[in-house]
Amino acid sequence: MICLVVGCGSKPGSNIPGGPSGVLTSEAIQVFDEEDAADLFSDSVDYPTGTGSPEFGIIAQVTSSASSNLLSPFQAFLEAPRTLSQPFQLCVPSTSGNITDGDADNVPISADLTYQCPLSSGLLPPLVGSVHIEDDDDQIPRPQAGFLIKTNALTIEQSTKKINIKGFIDVDVTPANRTFVANLSVISLLQNGNSREFNIWIKTIVTPADASNPRASGLVSFENSYLGIKAATINVVVAISSENLTYDHTCAKRFKNGKITLTDGAGNVLQLIFQNCQVTRLLNGNPV
C-alpha cells in the first residue's frame, strides 16, 4: 500500500499509544459491551480470511427501516463499500477513480465512494461521507489478496445516535499468513448530548491451518494493539494481547481456544478465555 492512513505518507500504527493508561472500570466494560466493541476482535480474523457472510454485507442485514438501530460502527465502516456493486434501498454512492473490479471481489482497483444518505432521507444505509477502497491485486480475489479501506469522515446515522468514523483498515496477504491493521477513531454522539469515543489500534497476524482455505481455522495473535475508551467519566486505554489463540469459522465468536487479555494502566486485567468456542470473562480473576 502507498497511502495507508488519513492523509498519505503515514504508516499503519504510527500513532499508537506508548502503553495502557487509566482504569478499566465496570462502567467502561459496560460501554465496551453496548458499543459491540468486541466484534472488532472477530472482524480482525474475518476480513483477512474472508469469513464475512456476506463480506462487505452490512447492507443485507438492515432489512427494516432507516430508523433501525442495527449497525455496529465497526461493521458499517468495514462493509459500506458493498453498495458499490449492490446498492440497497436506493442509497447509491457517487464514485470516482478506477472502479474496475477485475476479480469480482467487490474491491475496485482504487476508488472513492461518496454517500449522501442521511437518516432523514429514508434511504439505506444511512451514511454521509466518503470511503476510499483499493485492491492489492485486482487479478486475485479476496481473501487471497489484501485490500485497503479508509475514510477521512464517515457518519452513520441511527435512531439513537450519530457515529463519526475516521481512519483505515489494511489487510495484507502472504503465502504464510495475513496481517490485519486497523487504526480508527469512532465517536458516538448520543441523543442525550453525551458522547463516547473509541480509539482503536489493532494488529493481528492470522496464520491459516490451510492456506487454500483460510477461513476454516488457524492461529491468530494480537501485536502492539490498544483500545481507548472515552466518555463522561471514562478515560482508559487498554493494551490487547493474546495467548495460544485459535480461530474456527464455525464458532459464533470466531475464536475457539486461547485467551485475549486487556490490561489497563493500573494493572487491572480483563481476560476473554475461549474453550471450544465458549467464552468466559474474568476481571482480575473474577467472573464479569
Q: Residue 116, class by beta-carbon neighbours within 10 Å (0-12 exposed, 13-18 middle, 19+ buried)?
A: middle
For residue 106, pLDDT beyond 60: yes
**pLDDT score, position 39:** 75
Query: What mean pLDDT do residues 98-121 have?
Result: 82
Report how far residue 90's alpha carbon sits from residue 151's, in angstroms, rounded to the nearest whole number: 22
Question: Is residue 265 within 8 Å of residue 239, measured between CB atoms?
Answer: no
Q: Which residue has the higher pLDDT, 245 or 88?
A: 245
Mean predicted lDDT score pLDDT of the chain: 79
- pLDDT reported for residue 131: 84
For the CA atoms of 38, 67, 232, 78, the dihedral, rounded to the nearest 10 degrees, stands at 40
Evaluate the CA torsion angle 226, 42, 58, 211 in order and state its sign.
positive
Pinpoint the alpha helices (H) of the chain: 26-34, 39-49, 58-61, 73-79
- Provide the residue ranges of all domains of the chain, joining segments of one domain with +: 26-208+225-238
Contacts of 72 (CB under 8 A, 6+ apart): 35, 36, 39, 58
Evaluate if residue 64 carries a pLDDT over 50. Answer: no
Which of 40-54, 115-129, 230-244 bottoms out in mean pLDDT, i.e. has the lowest? Answer: 40-54
pLDDT of 15 > 70? The answer is no
pLDDT recorded at residue 251: 92
What does the pLDDT read at residue 218? 96
Distance CA 44, CA 57 (A): 16
pLDDT of 285 > 80? The answer is: yes
3-state percent helix, strand, coil for the chain, nearest multiple of 5: 15, 45, 40
Residue 6 pLDDT greater than 50, yes or no:
no
Pairwise CA distance, residues 98 & 179, whole Å: 25
**Residues paired with residue 213 on neighbouring β-strands, in sequence order:** none
How high is the pLDDT of residue 280? 94
How many whole angstroms separate alpha carbon 277 and alpha carbon 269?
21
Cα 120 off chain centre by: 26
C-alpha gyration radius of the chain: 18
Whether residue 266 is predicted with pLDDT greater than 90 in this model: the reply is yes
**Largest distance between two CA atoms of the chain:** 53
Per DSSP, the three-state class of 46 is: helix
- Could you read off the pLDDT of 132-189 as tens digits, one per residue? 888 888 887 777 888 888 888 888 887 788 888 888 888 899 989 999 998 988 888 8
- How far apart CA 195 and CA 162 sit, in angstroms, is 9
CB-based contact 107:131 (threshold 8 Å): no
Q: Which residue has the cell 472515552?
A: 230
More confident residue, 283 or 5: 283
